[in-house]
Amino acid sequence: MVTYSQQVEQLAPLEQAVFQNSFVEELHGEASMDKTPRQVPGYHYSRVEPTAVQAPQLLAWSEDLAAYLGLERPSERGPAVDMLAGNQLAPSMKPFAARYGGHQFGSWAGQLGDGRAISLGELTATDGTNWEIQLKGAGPTPYSRRADGRAVLRSSLREFLCSEAMHYLGVPTTRALSLVATGDEVVRDMFYNGNARPEPGAIVARVAPTFVRFGNFQLMAAMGELDNMRALADYVIRHHYPELGAPSPAVYVRWFEEICRRTAVMIAHWMSVGFVHGVMNTDNMSILGLTIDYGPYGWLEPYDPDWTPNTTDFGSRRYAFGQQPQVALWNLYQLARALAHLVETPQDLQQGLETYRTTLAQTRHTMLLQKLGLTSLALEEDRALVEELLEALAGSEIDMTLFFRQLSHTAPSLLLNAENEDATWRELLAKAAYSMSMEEEQTLVQWLQRYLQRLRQESASPEAIRESMLRVNPKYVLRNYLAQKAIEAAEAGDLAFLNTLMEVLKTPFAEQPEHEELAAKRPDWAREKPGCATLSCSS
């Protein structure tokens, strides 16, 4: 057995790592290295190198992910950080930008592609699996259209922190290895209202088995590039779904069904922790069912299905919290329309959409029951109980995370001693509510009373119920205002709060009493503040 210290000794500097290039070598690429924005028909990707930045400096490093990849922590400046900023390439790297399209806000947008993300290649992790390393904000590519290929510190820090926080919550997600300041300024008009200003630039090194999206297939279908589409499907299946066997029309059908299943599991997780992606365009849907492309995302504070942080979406609220299950299904349907060209009987793909519906319904229900400490005894009554809770929460201003976390402590205690049941419930609600009318309180207290009756039917001990609830109801999530505080401090050169958040969010289900304030209700000042309550796509 390899001990931890032996493993640490085996960690190597990034600049010595050897990269694989399966995407580049097995697929069809345009080799010109030309960065001029253009249409790239007929190709899966374009070879392109990152554009160097002024003064790369490491701001954050994901220790556990790095150890898993066999990488040692680099110093603040030096060859590894130069690589993470795109200023230096390893001889084994063959960097590329992928070509994809997508539906944006329901409309077909044609070719999009990696306009600012450049993949360096794949690293083999300590368990032998391969992981693509991609720099987001590494400069122009043929897919940059009219934009600059860069990313600002605020959006990069948000992506870095949230992808790791999601991972530690157990949500399927792409990962983030490093956050590097570029030393360059990037001009952005944060709310598209004529107030453009220079902001510090940054680059995140993202990590995933692959960054292929629904939109890669959609674009090739739209352009009639069926051989290319088949080649990409075969690549994804061979590398990432090997359990399905050698690609064939019948395997494509089973593959689509598996994509649907994984997407359902991902959405169930989002709904369970209160995550709102914010821009669920089909180019932001991973073919592996991972949360991808963290932009104007947010976390529910008051439980509100209609909430979205994305100002671009305030009119139609297409991507609001409660819409996410439906939108993912719509997106899967668009993917099915593309894959229909590869199968013998397109109707067979219907089964996948059905699997999405049933997997999502079952997984969501199971997760909600777990959040309530219930095991499935009386299915029908439990469904009604759960539905009524969600309705009551939506009808009041109760913090979702706090409610379930408090419940995990309070409900098992009341099982042991229900003497002051009503007062105890009112106390819980007061802790979790931003505001509450008498009627709202009454509705919730009545629900809680019925819930306690139901909980009494469980055979597990109150202590076991408490433990099971604490394992699924996080105490710490990346509340919108916490990310904003970390950004403001980092922009002023202070990384202490970012480091604290990284550490605390690694064990979101642990009490960590010394960090109680990070589990508190959103403060009043953050209610309407830009960056906390409202975000735009400008990043």
Contacting range for ligand AMP; rule: CB under 6 A; set: 140-148, 196-204, 373-381, 457-465: 140-148
The token pair that represents 461 in the structure block? 């001990």
Return the range that interacts with ligand AMP (CB under 6 A); candidates 51-59, 108-116, 177-185, 331-339: 108-116
Q: Which residues on adjacent β-strands are paired with residue 136?
A: 117, 204
Judged by CB under 6 A, which of 148, 185, 421, 491 binds ligand AMP? Answer: 148
Sequence-distant contacts of 381-385: CB under 8 A, at least 24 apart: 381/454, 382/454, 385/447, 385/450, 385/451, 385/454
Closer to ligand AMP at the Cβ: 213 or 254?
Answer: 213
Residue nearer to ligand AMP on the CB measure, 141 or 424: 141
List the single partner that 537 binds among ligand AMP, Mg ion, none, CB under 5 to 8 Å by kind: ligand AMP
Query: Judged by CB, which is closer to ligand AMP: 18, or 147?
Result: 147
Q: How far is the CB of 294 from ligand AMP (least distance, A)?
A: 9
| DSSP codes of every residue in 461-508 | -HHHHHHHHHHHS-S----HHHHHHHHHHHHTT--HHHHHHHHHTTST
When asked if residue 112 is in the footprint of ligand AMP (CB under 6 A), the reply is yes
Q: Minimum CB separation from ligand AMP for residue 92, in Å?
A: 25
Binds Mg ion (CB under 5 A): choice among 119, 284, 468, 473: 284
Binding mask 252-291 for ligand AMP (x = CB under 6 A): ---------------------------x---xx-------
Residues ≥6 apart with Cβ < 8 Å to 478:
161, 162, 165, 299, 501, 505
Both tokens assigned to 391 = 């309705």
SS3 state at 40: coil
Tell me if 331 contacts ligand AMP by CB under 6 A: no
Is residue 115 a contact residue for ligand AMP (CB under 6 A)? yes
Distance of alpha carbon 99 from alpha carbon 44, whole angstroms: 5
Could you say which of 44, 94, 103, 150 contacts ligand AMP (CB under 6 A)?
150
Choices 3-11, 114-122, 352-360, 502-510; region in contact with ligand AMP by CB under 6 A: 114-122
144 lies in the site for ligand AMP, by CB under 6 A: yes
| By the rule CB under 6 A, 185 interacts with ligand AMP | no
* Separation between Cα atoms, residue 70 and residue 73, nearest integer Å: 10
Q: Do 65 and 175 form a contact (C-beta atoms < 8 A)?
A: yes
Task: Identify the CA nearest to 29 among candidates 93, 96, 92.
Answer: 96
Find which of ligand AMP, Mg ion, none residue 144 binds, CB within 5 to 8 Å per kind.
ligand AMP
Decide which of Mg ion, ligand AMP, none touches 142; Cβ closer than 5 to 8 Å per partner kind: none
User: DSSP string spanning 252-271?
Assistant: HHHHHHHHHHHHHHHHHHHH
- Binding residues for Mg ion, rule CB under 5 A, total 2
Closest approach of Mg ion to the CB of residue 292, in Å: 8
SS3 assignment for 303-344: CCCCCCCEHHHCCCCCCCHHHHHHHHHHHHHHHHHHHHHHCC
Q: Which C-beta is closer to ligand AMP: that of 186 or that of 445?
A: 186
Cβ of residue 261: shortest distance to ligand AMP, in angstroms? Answer: 24
By C-beta, is 298 or 352 nearer to Mg ion?
298
Confirm or reject binding of residue 465 to ligand AMP (CB under 6 A).
no
The values of phi and psi at residue 241, to 5°, are: -130, 50
Would you count residue 293 as binding Mg ion (CB under 5 A)? yes
Q: Which residues have a catalytic role annotated?
A: 283
Cβ–Cβ under 8 Å, residues 477 and 508: yes
Quick check: helix, strand or coil at residue 457? Answer: coil
Of these, 8, 33, 55, 147, which contacts ligand AMP (CB under 6 A)?
147
User: How far is the C-alpha of 509 from the C-alpha of 412, rounded, in Å?
Assistant: 17
CA-only gyration radius of the chain, Å:
24
203 membership: H or E segment, kind and range: strand 197-208
Nearest approach in angstroms of CB 166 to ligand AMP is: 17
Rounded Cα distance, 499 and 486, in Å: 9
**Residue ranges that bind Mg ion, judged by CB under 5 A:** 284, 293
**Residue ranges that bind ligand AMP, judged by CB under 6 A:** 112-116, 143-144, 147-150, 279, 283-284, 293, 295, 537
